[in-house]
Structure 1
Amino acid sequence: MNTPEYTSYAPPPPRWESLKKEIKEAAQTLGIDDIGFTTAEPFLFLKNLLQEHRDKGYDSGFEEPDLDKRTIPALREGEAKSIIAIAVAYPSKMDNPPKSEPGERRGILARSAWGRDYHLVLREALERLEAFIRQRVPDAVMESMVDTGVLVDRAVAERAGIGFSGKNCAVISPKWGSWIYLGEMITNIPFPPDTPVTEGCGTCTKCIDACPTGALVGPGELNAQACISYLTQTKGFLDETYMAKIGNRLYGCDTCQIVCPHNRGKNWNHHEELLPDPEQAKPLLLPILDLSNREFKEKFGSSAAAWRGKKPIQRNAVIALGNFKDASAVPKLSEVLLRDPRPELRGAAAWALGAIGGEAALAAVELALESEQDEEVAGRLGRAKSRLAGPIDP
């Protein structure tokens, strides 16, 4: 009779640990670059921080207003037991980017808006993940969200071990840097949690120092109202002080990520659908001003930059032309100033003409002053005229 060799026996892992391992091994085939697991316990520490942030007036207005929903994971049906966080890496560099030259000035979209709309990319990845789990647990309850969900994506990703929260308010992965899109899935499956990343920013403040508008008011604290990424997505008039700092950005801002040492040398081009179309990611500015709604959707509709419609992009294109101070743009800007029915574009054109300078710009501003009915635009025209009549900025 053979004696069992108990010393070499190892019990099989618990069901959910085994499934978690299976999911991690399959992640790349599902289009997911990194995946982490955490409990569905409330993010208690976060509620007070979010309230303080709101009290200071730092919210963007895009957030879920109910702080309990933002900090207490929940399912519509069943009890939330765990959260799966996912990350998908995206490019930080463009091959052969088109040049911006006099007479053919170009704007730039933030890297998060290069390639196909990341909301769709992540939702499809989460759908594949859901199907993978449902094959193994048919009665599982799962709810996925990308960006527009109620939870704070960064807090979930940090607790699930995807990365740490940087001073620039981005989740920074030790492997991928901060060039990652985030999404999550709440489920009633009690997966064992992963360990959070303990790495951090140390004494580095490069992102805070480089922020064009000072929106990073402290380590991990962002005043969204001053953030260029937020400002480029708003509708309406922009503060003229911020307009000068927007540069040629049409959507978003990458400055705090570009200067981050954790991103040095990191560029991810393995997701073909996220690779940029150079003419979309760095488009000519003047043609943007003539786009119809249909043409705008054809050019930018596949990008995350399209979600607010064409008006903010066109306003930002006017601002960018002013920041380039290219006199060849004066005729088109004068046309916008005198004929465009949208006050925010006329106001931007007034500022841009004031920034460019010259007799033609002054003539357009003076002509517009004779008939402008909007009080805000008229005020901007008056400031532009004063600027144009005085010494021209170098």
Structure 2
Amino acid sequence: MDTQQLKQEIIEYSKKIGIDKIGFASADVFGELRERLRRQQELGYQSGFEKGSLEERTEPERLLPEAQSIISVALAYPSRMKDAPKSTKEERRGLFARASWGRDYHDVLRDRLEKLSAFIKEKAPDTADKVMVDTGELSDRAVAERAGIGFSGKNTAIITPEFGSFVYLGELITNIPFIPDDPVEDSCGECTKCMDACPTGALVEGGQLNAQRCIAFLTQTKDFLPDEFRTKIGNRVYGCDTCQIVCPKNKQVDFHLHEEFEPEHDVVKPKLKPMLRISNREFKETFGHISGSWRGKKPLQRNALIALGHYKDKTAVEEMIAVMNNDPRPVIRGTAAWSLGKIGTEEAVQAIEAAMETETDDRVLAEMQKGLDFTVASK
């Protein structure tokens, strides 16, 4: 097999099926990554969403015993929304991060990679491979960095020369020994804009993220959000783009190359009040096709309640009281009470006091007291 010719044919085919960038890397052990991940574990910086053992995440041969190479691919996604709807005092809106605009990128990338796999097997029938997109054991970013897709910035994102960091990543492990591509030179230099702008200080140093403090992670958790982060998430319903938006490498970067990734206005900038009463069926119909729905509606409803408190939206008080009084989920009842206290109208305060008389969950009662404490502090 002429692997160099096959490599060129794969590159040409990738362009035909809508892959924006492709790179080839060795399947050697990711030794430096392993040490970094071990350090992350020791410091308690992991999110808990990681898949696989330390060995599986850094040794490709554990995932495909005959692994020789890894093909990394990138698809660009938009950074700006055309004619984006604006929040009004009557209808406040939340925001999904850009990585959740359009159709779930896991599905789109997997489709492209499976087409690539089929093409390779057509050319070399005896080959073996394994496709992964985000939820696999390997680090998409470590693979992309080794394959020359881009360099790993201080914000921990892969920054490509062409598309900035607004790219989705995936990879295909193969038993074909392709010649690796050269890595891209790191060009962050002395810039620390992403670290300086991070709302919660999650970027503890260049290239190291404390996921436990990262808003993108926090918006996906299902429990009560720790107090110190509630004022930080603003109107974010899912994810956070701050460290990408401030990056000079992303200045003027906005690619609309794939129809699947175009944002639907009322989906990615949803009205907040309707989110409080959305049924499971309505949630699936409205948000089920985007990646930001993967944790279900509970975290997004919790975040919507916090956002309404952030806006001090008096028009939402009646609906929030209904949530506090009737929702079966303690996290949602308690967060509603906390946000009602932030809004601080007389109606909201009286409703919290009345609800405390019948509430039996200690965590919810604690949130109700926090809500009342806001009103005391404001007097």
Letter in 2 for 1:24: I
Q: Are the aligned partners of 2:134 and 2:140 in contact in 1 as well (CA < 8 Å)? A: yes
Q: Are the aligned partners of 2:330 and 2:364 in contact in 1 as well (CA < 8 Å)? A: yes
| Corresponding position of 1:336 | 323
Q: Are the aligned partners of 2:64 and 2:130 in contact in 1 as well (CA < 8 Å)? A: no
Q: Does 1:156 align with 2:138?
A: no
SS in 2 for 1:47: helix
CA distance in 2, matches of 1:199, 1:53: 22
Letter in 1 for 2:332: L
| Corresponding position of 2:354 | 367
Output aligned runs, 1:1-394, within 5 Å: 15-74=2-61, 78-391=65-378
CA distance in 2, matches of 1:327, 1:289: 15
CA distance in 2, matches of 1:220, 1:354: 38
Cα deviation digits, residues 156-186 of structure 1 (max 9, x gap) = 0000000000000100001110000000000
CA distance in 1, matches of 2:52, 2:258: 34
Offset of residue 77 of structure 1? 5.7
The range that moved more, 181-190 or 361-370, is 361-370
CA distance in 2, matches of 1:252, 1:225: 13
Q: Which runs of 5+ in 1 are unaligned?
A: 1-13
- Quote the RMSD (CA, aligned, Å): 1.1
Q: Are the aligned partners of 1:75 and 1:187 in contact in 2 as well (CA < 8 Å)? A: no
Offset of residue 339 of structure 1? 1.0
- Total equivalences in the alignment: 379
Q: Are the aligned partners of 2:131 and 2:172 in contact in 1 as well (CA < 8 Å)? A: yes
Offset of residue 290 of structure 1? 1.1
Report the TM-score, using the length of structure 1 for normalisation: 0.94
Report the TM-score, using the length of structure 2 for normalisation: 0.98
CA distance in 2, matches of 1:28, 1:380: 53
CA distance in 2, matches of 1:290, 1:77: 46
Letter in 2 for 1:266: V
SS in 2 for 1:80: coil
Change beyond 3 A, Cα 1:77–1:101: closer
CA distance in 2, matches of 1:199, 1:50: 20
CA distance in 1, matches of 2:146, 2:377: 56
Q: Are the aligned partners of 1:134 and 1:140 in contact in 2 as well (CA < 8 Å)? A: yes
| Corresponding position of 1:4 | none
Offset of residue 76 of structure 1? 5.5
State which structure, 1 or 2, has the greater radius of gyration over its C-alpha atoms: 1
Q: Which runs of 5+ in 2 are unaligned?
A: none
Q: Are the aligned partners of 2:52 and 2:137 in contact in 1 as well (CA < 8 Å)? A: no
Q: Are the aligned partners of 2:320 and 2:340 in contact in 1 as well (CA < 8 Å)? A: yes
SS in 2 for 1:74: helix
CA distance in 1, matches of 2:282, 2:93: 18
